[in-house]
Amino acid sequence: MKSVQDPDYGRALFYPATVLVEKEAADYPLTETILSRLKKARVVFVKRPAASDFNHLTELYSPQTTLFLARHRGRFLKACPGTAESYRCCLYQILHLGLGCNIGCSYCVLQGYLNNPFITQFVNLDDAFAELDAELAQPGVFCRIGTGEFTDSLFMDPLTGLAPRLIDYFSGSKNAILELKTKSVAIANLLDYPGEIGETIVSWSLNAPRVTAREEGFAASITERLQAAARCRERGYRIGLHFDPLLFFPGWEAEYRQTVAEIFKYLKGADIIWISIGAFRFMPQVKEVLRDNHPQSNITAGEFIRGRDGKQRYFSAVRRQLYRFLVTEIKSYAPEVFIYFCMEDQCLWQDTFGYAPADNAELGRWLDECCWRYAADV
């Protein structure tokens, strides 16, 4: 399937020089798998760090070149951190298997939230699957579950091999769907997966070409992402797309129009299970962190207003302009594609689409129905 013109689908975006291994995590199979693929890396065994210990560790080991393998002691399955009832949340569930990535997007809100500066992989997968078993055994439960909230789902998959493990699990589930979300093209494990792929969606975050070049670090280009999406669709995966965050800048219309046109060079509307849209937003305390980490970026220099969730947002007139334009462009190619807003208010739903979900539960049901239609089509 792979041609010499294709991107390197088998390459991870992160090959650490040092691996810190929590002593309690040393004997897990995932630890052994990762270390076997990093034979040249220095391996250092450490006691479980307290939050205050990370400052000392960063003096010894660079967060940019260090991977931390740890045992997760909290819950793996978490509700999406939607913030305020006035902004609609789709009630997504997050499977929390790792922290951080090295793509280096200037707008990444994780820069202001994580106490742990190292890219971290949790290795006690059996505990995660046991928690999923208990959750999905409840009567009447249907879950949309993703792994791309606190990390990129695939940027390190050639090292971890997590995607095949997850596909194995979810292919046997009738009341849950898995979404893998990425800005990488590390899809070799997805293309080579030997069994039935079941309920798995592979999603790409997209943006304007200018934003991708200036603000998205080591992310694959828009064309590379969409070529990878087309390959995954050939293999049978349904594709999700996410325009979040939309940025407002001179020439944004032409730039986003170019991205939409690029989508439909590689995909048909029927290939896409959903497209989400959300405008740039951030907590006020994150602003200086973003500026310090990315002094070349000016994304926080625009005019913002404090939203009802405390986040800084573009004025509603700007968001309306962004949303109406992008929805119109997408619908001109694929009127049947389901588009929804991530954390947006009722008024802008109504202004853009002519309708709005009554509450979070209704929005969640709309996305559940997309999954059920997908399952019926497969």
Q: Is 112 helix (H, G, I), strand (E, B) or coil?
A: helix
* Cα four-point dihedral sign 189, 36, 165, 62: negative
Angle between helices 125-136 and 162-171 (to 10 degrees): 20
N-to-C CA span, the chain? 22
- Residue pair 150/123 in contact (Cβ under 8 Å)? The answer is no
Task: Give the lowest-confidence range in 53-57, 103-107, 207-211.
Answer: 53-57
Residue 4 — pLDDT band, cuts 50, 70, 90?
Answer: very low
Count CB neighbours of 193 within 10 A. Answer: 19
In the block, tokens 């997209």 appear at 206
Q: What is the pLDDT of residues 150-189, one digit of tens each?
A: 999 999 999 999 999 999 999 988 899 999 999 999 999 9
Q: Which domains does the chain have, with CATH numbers?
A: 73-112+122-377 (3.80.30.30)
Residue 54 confidence (pLDDT): 87
Q: What is the pLDDT of residues 255-302, one digit of tens each?
A: 999 999 999 999 999 999 999 999 999 999 889 999 999 999 999 998
Q: Which residues pair with 306 in a beta bridge?
A: 312
Integer CA distances (angstroms), 239 to 90, 173, 183, in order: 18, 19, 13
Q: How far apart are CA 340 and CA 357, in angstroms?
A: 10
The model's pLDDT over 108-135, given as tens digits with 9 standing for 90+, comes to: 988 877 788 999 999 999 999 999 999 9
Pairing type for strands 176-182 and 200-206 reads parallel
At how many degrees (to 10) do helices 222-235 and 252-266 cross? 30
pLDDT at 146: 97
**How far is it, in rounded angstroms, from Cα 218 to Cα 322?**
26
Least reliable range by pLDDT among 100-114, 120-134, 217-231: 100-114
| pTM score | 0.94
The stretch 221-249 carries a mean pLDDT of 97
3-state secondary structure 273-310: EEEEEEECEECHHHHHHHHHHCCCCCCCCCCCEECCCC
Closest by CA position to 78, among listed 24, 13, 150, 12: 150
What is the distance between the alpha carbons of residues 169 and 63, in angstroms, rounded to a whole number? Answer: 32
Write down the residue that tokens 């939230």 correspond to: 113
Q: Which of 20-29, 67-76, 169-178, 262-271 has the lowest mean pLDDT?
A: 169-178
| Closest residue by Cα to residue 374 from 284, 291, 285, 273 | 273
**CA 11, 105, 35: angle at the middle one, nearest 5?**
35
| Token pair recorded at residue 309 | 């969730």
Using only C-alpha atoms, the chain has a radius of gyration, in whole angstroms, of: 20
Judged against a pLDDT cut of 60, whether residue 1 lies above it is answered with no
Cis peptide before 295 (omega within 30 of 0): no
Residue range 366-375, pLDDT digits in tens:
999 999 876 6
